[in-house]
């Protein structure tokens, strides 16, 4: 395919989120492995203030394993800043670099948001793509927002008769006025240990395992630094199971369910350090050492969650298999899961017969199909007056 016919994929990385650094790792592999016979990659880095910069198109695809994807924050690479919204004049001329790249057309055909966390995975940026009428990979606004909010996702799971381990929600204002009472309620209703977590973060950021009542206020305050809503969850002694789900192009067909994998943290729990800082922080076991029956049960729960949470494109469903009861509980859903080649989502798909490159191709095509279907919808309504 000659380069003018290739689909131009903007891979977005970084972002205004605590998971900015994690995104650089996910995006690097996506940029490297998007099939060059089908796609032209347009790397776009978003800094921690939310400004978009054109990456180095010629260099980024060639990065080696030890090199890092960089944000090139110089003025003539600047593409967009949310600060421009509402201003009458865009405060800068597009640089020659960008006009040359676009020939006054849109710079890309489809967006692959390789970003995690708030403002990146929670429907915010997906809303921007909808407004701009640009196809984008993965979940839409609604499922992105639901998937990000651990409390809302759990409430919908409960409504669908999926088991959820007991938890309590605390909002910022409640903690300001009733801290002591809330601590007592937690002790009585949940006991210890508990996990304290912000409702809307990922990568275990802001999560503390609390073993005694005296540690609770500190953990709650730490989580409230990151979100106005937090969850306090009864700890479960469980295997951590993960399933990758991929939509199929045919709307009638069921989503593809991967084999079930297990994450076995070597730390106290699957913390940020176990995920990213310690090379041996966790073992990913594929397939998980569970019976075929439990595997099928986990896949059925994951499929149900993908459907009831209105997911599109992809999601990774994380479950707990309680050791004592062998009961499966829903933990969380990730609508933009970690995406390095050695991350669980691509590894599960690969173990299920879909290679990393093939997975990327499928996701981009799904995004374009979805955009076509949505574009065919009627956006105006003519009502005949009798």
Ligand X SMILES: Nc1ncnc2c1ncn2[C@@H]1O[C@H](COP(=O)(O)OP(=O)(O)O)[C@@H](O)[C@H]1O
Nearer to ligand X, 240 or 312 (CB): 240
Which one-letter DSSP state was computed for residue 255? P
Nearer to ligand X, 271 or 299 (CB): 271
Distance between CA 196 and CA 271 in Å, rounded? 12
In degrees and rounded to multiples of 5, residue 60 shows phi and psi of: -60, -35
Q: How many CB atoms lie within 10 A of CB 281?
A: 16
**Alpha carbon of 104 to those of 95, 107, 160, 223: distances in Å?**
12, 8, 49, 45
Cis peptide before 193 (omega within 30 of 0): yes
Beta carbon of residue 330, minimum distance to ligand X (angstroms, whole number): 10
Nearer to ligand X, 39 or 329 (CB): 329
Nearer to ligand X, 204 or 297 (CB): 204
Q: Is residue 314 within 8 Å of 338, Cβ to Cβ? A: no
Beta carbon of residue 372, minimum distance to ligand X (angstroms, whole number): 32
Beta carbon of residue 42, minimum distance to ligand X (angstroms, whole number): 29
Site residues (vs ligand X, CB under 6 A): 165, 195, 197, 201-204, 207, 233, 235-236, 240, 265, 269-270, 318, 331-332
Distance between CA 256 and CA 226 in Å, rounded? 34
Quick check: helix, strand or coil at residue 45?
strand
List helix spans (H) across 11-104: 20-33, 57-60, 96-102
Nearer to ligand X, 297 or 335 (CB): 335
Beta carbon of residue 158, minimum distance to ligand X (angstroms, whole number): 15
Nearer to ligand X, 54 or 182 (CB): 182
Q: How many CB atoms lie within 10 A of CB 332?
A: 18
Beta carbon of residue 331, minimum distance to ligand X (angstroms, whole number): 5
- Residues recorded for the chain: 386
Quick check: helix, strand or coil at residue 370?
helix
**Alpha carbon of 303 to those of 159, 300, 315, 349, 372: distances in Å?**
15, 5, 10, 15, 25
Beta carbon of residue 146, minimum distance to ligand X (angstroms, whole number): 14
Beta carbon of residue 201, minimum distance to ligand X (angstroms, whole number): 6
In degrees and rounded to multiples of 5, residue 168 shows phi and psi of: -130, 140
Nearer to ligand X, 63 or 284 (CB): 284
Beta carbon of residue 25, minimum distance to ligand X (angstroms, whole number): 15
Distance between CA 128 and CA 124 in Å, rounded? 7
Nearer to ligand X, 227 or 318 (CB): 318
Q: How many CB atoms lie within 10 A of CB 225?
A: 9
Nearer to ligand X, 90 or 342 (CB): 342
Beta carbon of residue 326, minimum distance to ligand X (angstroms, whole number): 16
Nearest to 69 by CA among 31, 39, 104: 31
């Amino acid at each position: 395919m000659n380069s003018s016919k290739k689909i131009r994929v903007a891979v977005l990385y970084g972002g205004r989120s605590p998971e900015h650094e994690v995104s650089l790792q996910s995006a690097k592999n996506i940029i490297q492995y998007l099939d060059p016979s089908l796609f032209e990659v347009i790397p776009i880095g978003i800094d921690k203030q939310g400004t978009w910069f054109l990456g180095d198109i010629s260099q980024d695809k060639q990065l080696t394993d030890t090199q890092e994807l960089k944000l090139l924050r110089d003025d003539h690479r600047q593409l967009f800043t949310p600060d421009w919204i509402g201003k009458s004049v865009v405060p800068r001329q597009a640089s020659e670099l960008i006009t040359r790249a676009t020939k006054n057309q849109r710079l890309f055909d489809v967006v692959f948001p390789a970003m995690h966390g708030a403002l990146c995975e929670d429907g915010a940026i997906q809303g921007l793509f909808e407004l701009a009428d640009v196809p984008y990979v993965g979940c839409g606004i609604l499922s992105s927002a639901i998937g990000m909010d651990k409390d809302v996702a759990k409430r919908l799971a409960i409504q669908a008769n999926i088991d959820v381990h007991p938890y309590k929600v605390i909002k910022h204002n409640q903690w300001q006025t009733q801290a002591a009472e809330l601590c007592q309620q937690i002790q009585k209703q949940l006991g210890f240990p508990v996990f304290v977590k912000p409702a809307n973060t990922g990568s275990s950021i802001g999560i503390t395992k609390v073993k005694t009542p005296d540690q609770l206020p500190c953990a709650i305050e730490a989580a409230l630094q990151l979100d106005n809503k937090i969850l306090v969850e009864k700890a479960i002694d469980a295997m951590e199971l993960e399933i990758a789900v991929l939509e199929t192009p045919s709307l009638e067909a069921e989503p593809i369910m991967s084999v079930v994998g297990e994450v076995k943290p070597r730390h106290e729990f699957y913390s940020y350090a176990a995920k990213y800082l310690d090379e041996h922080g966790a073992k990913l076991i594929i397939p998980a050492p569970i019976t075929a029956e439990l595997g099928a049960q986990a896949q059925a729960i994951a499929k149900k969650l993908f459907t009831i949470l209105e997911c599109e494109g992809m999601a990774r469903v994380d479950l707990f298999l309680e050791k004592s009861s062998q009961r499966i509980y829903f933990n969380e859903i990730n609508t933009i899961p970690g995406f390095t080649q050695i991350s669980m989502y691509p590894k599960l798909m690969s173990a299920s017969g879909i290679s990393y490159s093939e997975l990327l191709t499928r996701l981009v095509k799904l995004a374009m199909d979805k955009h076509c279907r949505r574009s065919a919808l009627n956006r105006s309504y003519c009502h005949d007056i009798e």
